[in-house]
Amino acid sequence: MKDLIEALTILLKYGNPQWPTNCSHDCLAIVGIEPDGVSEEDKKRLDELGFFVSEDEDMGFISFRFGSA
């Protein structure tokens, strides 16, 4: 859980959307934060924590690690 909290804390620097997540089978998406606005350093750390930029523009960052069903 520590890694999830760290990832959310990093993303909080870039916005505080009212509904920040979207869940589907095996995937947790962080929506409402534009990946282009996130620093490369933070993207690298997010990747280490299990989040990466989705190819779907509407999904922002996604994780299969924390979205597992």
Kindly report, residue by residue over 53-68, the tens digit of the pLDDT: 999 888 899 999 988 7
Could you give the CA distance from residue 69 to residue 60 in angstroms, rounded to a whole number? 20
Radius of gyration, CA atoms only, the chain? 11
Query: Residues near 67 by Cβ (< 8 Å), separated by ≥ 6?
Result: 23, 24, 26, 27, 28, 29
pTM above 0.75, yes or no: yes
Residue boundaries of the structural domains of the chain:
2-63
* Residue 38 pLDDT level (bands cut at 50, 70, 90): very high
Average pLDDT of the residues in 25-43: 95
Q: Give yes or no for residue 14 having a pLDDT over 90.
A: yes
